[in-house]
Amino acid sequence: MEHIWAPWRMEFILNEKPSECILCGKPADSDDEGNLILHRGRLNFVILNKYPYNPGHLMVAPYRHVATLEDMDDDELLDHFSIVRRCTRALRGIFNPAGFNIGINLGKVAGAGISDHAHTHIVPRWSGDTNFMPVLSDVRVLPEGLASTFAKLKGQI
């Protein structure tokens, strides 16, 4: 069995969680750059993950606070996955990843860090994008900062 280590995620795990849902709170605020919101669609929005596994790690979420896919109506689902496709197209054009991990963790037991607001993760992947640093020294090397990634992707989705 292969293990994937992500010790840099401890910052997320140990940080005090806000009392309100961040996927409801962030789009309610108008500071898109400060909140890392890249795109506002009709029923869903795109936000950079503040604690990414790789540069360009995006999340697509509905504006409406829903916990599961079955709670989303057909229009929300169509908009959601149309935006997921637009995100992969933009990421492919800007970063040229070799592939993507795209996933939805529904419920705390399934690994959802935000378990009461459904969202889709889009993680660009490159050959060799993991190395020895996380294993040997609890350090995750991200070759680009969030502000640079935001600037490259803003207006591209």
Catalytic residues: 119
CA-wise closest residue to 141 among 131, 149, 150: 131
Task: Report the Cα 24 to chain-centroid distance in Å.
Answer: 15
> What is the C-alpha separation between 94 and 73, in angstroms, rounded?
32
Contact predicate 62/26, CB 8 Å: no
